[in-house]
Structure 1
Amino acid sequence: MNNTVVGADRIGGPGEILDDAQVREFVLRCLAGAELDGRSVCVIVPDATRSCPLPLLLAAVHEALDGRATRVTVLVALGTHAEMTEAQLRLHLGGPYAGCTVLNHEWWKPETLVTLGDINADRVAELSEGRLRQPVRVALNRAVVEHDVCLVVGPVFPHEVVGFSGGNKYFFPGVAGQEIIDFSHWLGALITSADIIGTRGITPVRALIDQAASLIPSRRLALCLVVRSGTGELHAASFGPPEAAWAACADVSAQTHVRYLDAPARRVVSVVPVKYDDMWTGAKGFYKVEPVVADGGQVIVYAPHITRISAMHPEIEQIGYHCRDYFLKQWDRFSHHHWGVLAHSTHLRGAGTYDPEQGERGRVTVTLATGIPEDVVRAANLDYLDPSSVDLDLLAAEEDTLVVAQAGEVLYRLR
């Protein structure tokens, strides 16, 4: 079905599956009317940690822009993830596409970034609902400002930092400098993953991201998508300004990517797919199930293929995994660390309390059944389980145990 959502055009919806021809026609139609003739276009896309049929979509985008755009650059929104190799990019993006340049967002190289300005302390306090009051510098990949138009192409899922991913999140943190990445993630951690994940509408983190995006001088457009989790099939697609296109797909994602349980589970086993190749990304298997675990219960993150905690952030192994209040009540000890690392720490440890005398108490137990060595797991303040001892069929047969296949994209909640 076709929908007009205040500035966005949408096809599909909850329970629908679009065929390739529908998707191609939609992309061609939307871009045909987007006044792109004689413009340079930067196409911003996700990395391989997101389910998305990029070969289909980029082929249609390339067809729509061929002979019209003066140049096209495809920029992979890594955030602070590891860069993709040429072989990985070919598989992930399809192509090659004649006349297109493909770039990783090299967030670790200052020369690839440009500063757009600051969001002042009073505005930060307003956007964060009083949680933070200090200025933050807004920097992002210079390719964004060196093109006339920026086209975001990417999916919308429930998200542990912002509520629902997608839209302007592909700029911040997708192709941003580390300061605002850390800042936005710590704001989400202050709210806590369990409270913000799957929250509809403009959350404080989304408000901060939208404010930062308003400083981008290039014209911003977005092709947002609702992907059938773990596949290349699309439930819906929307096109328009990032704010409107995102909102149209977030409405569908909220009806598509959330499963409701009538009662909490004592144990949840999250089976993490191989697209998450370290615990930094594979931790989504915890985020998406934390809300349905009973107090005192356990989450087993089952991922024998994961052999390290983080490819890009070894700092997390020194800090370990702790609840939010562990850091807040010892802020002098931890404030100098990257706030994005502290945020990730709280997201995987989940809700809990900390008292200097009583110590730290997590609401649930987090157990890694991965290829990460036991001493590394325990030193990081998590429980260890030998993955070879895990029998998924036996666990699934146990009363009060939930086994989640292809974990990381679908959110589980209590009714």
Structure 2
Amino acid sequence: MIYFQQGSEFIEISPQEVKAAIFSALDKLGLREKVLVVPPDITRYHSRAGEITRDIYAYYGTSLKDIMPALGTHVPMTGDEISMMFSGVPKELFRVHDWRNDVVTVGVIPGDKVSEITHGLVDRKWPAQLNKLVSQGGHDLILSVGQVVPHEVIGMANYNKNLFVGTGGSEGINQSHYVGAVEGIENVLGRADNPVRALLNYASDHFIQELPVIYIQTVIGRNEEGDLVMRGLFIGDDVEVFKLAVELSLKVNFNLLDEPLQKVVVYLDPAEFKTTWLGNKSIYRTRMAMADGGELIVLAPGLKEFGEDKQIDKLIRKYGYCGRAAVQEAIRENEDLQENLGAAAHLMHSSSEGRFSITYCPGFVTQEEIESINYQYADLKEMLDVYNPDDLREGFNTMPDGEEIYYISNPALGLWAYRGRFKG
């Protein structure tokens, strides 16, 4: 059922309109006494989920008992990050999701069904896992809040991914990421219908029908002035709300180009991107736009580590971004990758397969470290002197020396593809 829908690539939904929409939708649900909100973490700061969570708190007050950011494999939010994203919401309401230890399996998709869904690529059973607070917390309302945008693992982010991945467990996350990797990132990105989403939809239909979940989905884009604005807000309790948001997101967030790009410069906001695990969205979201022999420069002033998780960081440092074939061979020969298929999928996604060069300009990681994971290195200060984000506009730029570049200020907000490479 759809409780609210408004969206167009031409409108801007104000904070006041968002609050009115949230209140209107919640009015339709009737009295609720124990509410859980599952918003994204700081890596989706621009989703407007912080403001929506604040509106939910204003509506329910003491009936809002728990807020669990959908961390997935990410590090927990700091107090400062919570204050920045969720200002006005009491910190004592926030709970931390532990993806390795604090989950339960709510159902298992048999191997033969997984094989059917993945067209024979994977035949291992898949456990649908949720944080215990989500599945066993006794809430009479679970509000899953998030932004629909193209995504490298599941095609289009959000909907039930917020639960099964955002509050999921290591086995379920690892295997779902691996399904996306073997399907091929180019076959998944920007597509709502794909094997990973089919797994999650099967789990929703068969394992969590009794959970009182309502999805609040946003679509965010830039206006003509370059400011981020809300283009769509959709609230509902089934897949239709996701489909509405996807339709709009593909109009707002998908940049289809007539020619491949020779040189792309991506800036990673240090407040959002501190690892290559997250920062490699600069690669995922641009790879279908890059020309053969092209160059991708990643300005990463906040880069401190490779993995959000210590174990994954260790695996990235051990194997590096060595390409799909090498990773698949390493999986066959190494138990540590077999037990961390999500990390293996990340290693596959994060290589250009030799088709274009990747140059990282990190704030806190050494040249030796960058080169050890099979990327090129450039000094951040020197590159910022040449490619100053304050002087660049989104899209095509002509530099003072005549060089043509394509600039992206936040790769998490969209998908870029050369028309001839994207087979819609």
Gaps of at least 5 residues in structure 2 are: 420-424
How far, CA to CA, are the matches of 2:276 and 2:215 in structure 1? Answer: 29
CA contact (8 A) 1:286 1:408 kept: no
CA contact (8 A) 1:194 1:287 kept: no
Structure 1 residue 84 and structure 2 residue 77: aligned? yes
CA contact (8 A) 1:280 1:310 kept: yes
CA contact (8 A) 2:54 2:89 kept: no
Per the alignment, residue 29 of structure 1 pairs with: 24
How far, CA to CA, are the matches of 2:277 and 2:236 in structure 1? Answer: 32
TM-score of the two chains, using structure 1 as the length reference = 0.89
How far, CA to CA, are the matches of 1:49 and 1:396 in structure 2? Answer: 30
How far apart are 1:399 and its partner, in Å?
4.2
CA contact (8 A) 2:6 2:232 kept: yes
Aligned residues: 393
CA contact (8 A) 1:288 1:409 kept: no
CA contact (8 A) 1:265 1:400 kept: no
How far apart are 1:326 and its partner, in Å?
2.0
CA contact (8 A) 2:360 2:375 kept: yes
Per the alignment, residue 260 of structure 2 pairs with: 264
TM-score of the two chains, using structure 2 as the length reference = 0.87
SS at 2:47's partner residue? Answer: coil
Alignment of 1:279-294 (within 5 A): 279-294=276-291
CA contact (8 A) 1:272 1:282 kept: yes
CA, structure 1 residues 256+18, in 2 after alignment: closer, same or farther (shift >3 Å)? Answer: same
How far, CA to CA, are the matches of 1:387 and 1:346 in structure 2? Answer: 26
Which has the larger displacement, 142-151 or 400-409?
Answer: 400-409
How far apart are 1:83 and its partner, in Å?
0.5
CA contact (8 A) 2:39 2:68 kept: yes
CA contact (8 A) 1:268 1:298 kept: yes
How far apart are 1:232 and its partner, in Å?
6.1
Alignment of 1:322-361 (within 5 A): 322-334=322-334, 336-337=336-337, 338-350=340-352, 352=353
Per the alignment, residue 107 of structure 2 pairs with: 117
Deviations 1:17-74 (A, max 9, x none): 0112211111111111123x2442211000011112234312321233247x4x5311
How far apart are 1:206 and its partner, in Å?
0.7
CA contact (8 A) 2:296 2:356 kept: yes
Matched-pair identity in % = 25
Over the aligned positions, Cα root-mean-square deviation in angstroms equals 2.2
SS at 1:251's partner residue? Answer: helix
Q: Which amino acid aligns with 2:343?
A: V
Which has the larger displacement, 394-403 or 231-240?
Answer: 394-403
Deviations 1:135-165 (A, max 9, x none): 1222210111212332111111110011110
Corresponding residue to 1:193 among 169, 185, 189: 185
Deviations 1:191-244 (A, max 9, x none): 222331112x32111111222233124122101001236966311100101422
Q: Which amino acid aligns with 2:243?
A: A
Corresponding residue to 2:65 among 59, 67, 72: 72
Deviations 1:231-263 (A, max 9, x none): 663111001014222111111110001122211
Alignment of 1:278-317 (within 5 A): 278-312=275-309, 313-314=312-313, 315-317=315-317
Per the alignment, residue 177 of structure 1 pairs with: 169
How far, CA to CA, are the matches of 2:398 and 2:65 in structure 1? Answer: 48
CA, structure 1 residues 306+38, in 2 after alignment: closer, same or farther (shift >3 Å)? Answer: closer
How far, CA to CA, are the matches of 1:231 and 1:342 in structure 2? Answer: 36
Per the alignment, residue 375 of structure 1 pairs with: 368
Per the alignment, residue 402 of structure 1 pairs with: 406
Per the alignment, residue 357 of structure 1 pairs with: none
How far, CA to CA, are the matches of 1:22 and 1:334 in structure 2? Answer: 53
How far, CA to CA, are the matches of 2:181 and 2:211 in structure 1? Answer: 30
How far, CA to CA, are the matches of 2:77 and 2:112 in structure 1? Answer: 38
Q: Which amino acid aligns with 1:117?
A: G
How far apart are 1:335 and its partner, in Å?
5.7
